[in-house]
């Protein structure tokens, strides 16, 4: 992409811009998923919570002309079984090695379908792979065909789903040999 956004580590000072982007992007995510925005904790998260996540996790942002236009967080999860909600998931995760979890992935609407989302998730995956991660997990609404397709093209498989949050939430996984 010509004059592409720059991807860099987020700093605490970026928290207000990340918060604004997440709220905006999650409205589209909700509409595309057929779910209410009240079902997503990202919609009620404070700027202070975003700043805390930036301190504790590996959070990347994409910046264009001083504006945050993309974000993704990835953290190591010491025990992937915390994401197990059925025997099917348990069987998939029980022998998993080193694991990371992706969250708060968002791209400003005008930058969607430009390759920026691919660049963000690829950079997060590359960083995880560089630290010896065997498995990467993430959740997304199973009804959001755009995201299901996007993750599928990046080597993620829908391994299970559940609706404890009031909508069908899929757990997606990618093993290092398919990254």
Q: Give pTM, 2 decimals.
A: 0.91
pLDDT at 38: 84
Interatomic CA distance for residues 141 and 168, integer angstroms: 6
pLDDT tens digits along 63-78:
999 999 999 999 999 8
Cα radius of gyration rounded to whole Å, the chain: 16
Domain ranges in the chain are: 6-178
pLDDT above 70 (res 31): yes
Find tokens 């982007």 and name the residue: 21
Question: Residue 59: which of 45, 67, 71, 49 has the closest Cα?
Answer: 71
pLDDT tens digits along 123-134:
999 999 888 898
CATH 3.20.20.70 fits 6-178, yes or no: no
Question: Residue 102: which of 36, 155, 34 has the closest Cα?
Answer: 155
- pLDDT above 70 covers a percentage of the chain that reads 97
pLDDT at 178: 53
Q: DSSP class of residue 10? A: -
């Amino acid at each position: 992409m010509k004059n592409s956004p720059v991807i860099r580590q987020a700093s605490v000072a970026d928290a207000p811009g990340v918060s604004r982007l997440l709220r905006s992007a999650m409205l589209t995510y909700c509409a595309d998923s057929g779910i209410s925005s009240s079902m997503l904790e990202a919609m009620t998260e404070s700027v202070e919570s975003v700043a805390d996540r930036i301190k504790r996790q590996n959070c990347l942002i994409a910046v264009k002309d001083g504006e945050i236009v993309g974000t993704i967080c990835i953290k190591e999860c010491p025990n992937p079984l915390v994401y197990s909600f059925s025997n099917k998931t348990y069987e998939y995760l029980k022998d998993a090695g080193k694991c990371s979890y992706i969250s708060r992935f968002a791209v400003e609407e005008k930058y969607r379908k430009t390759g920026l989302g691919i660049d963000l998730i690829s950079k997060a995956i590359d960083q995880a792979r560089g630290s010896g991660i065997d498995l990467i997990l993430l959740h997304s609404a199973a009804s959001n065909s755009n995201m299901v397709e996007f993750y599928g093209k990046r080597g993620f498989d829908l391994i299970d789903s559940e609706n404890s949050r009031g909508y069908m939430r899929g757990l997606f996984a990618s093993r290092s040999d398919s990254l």
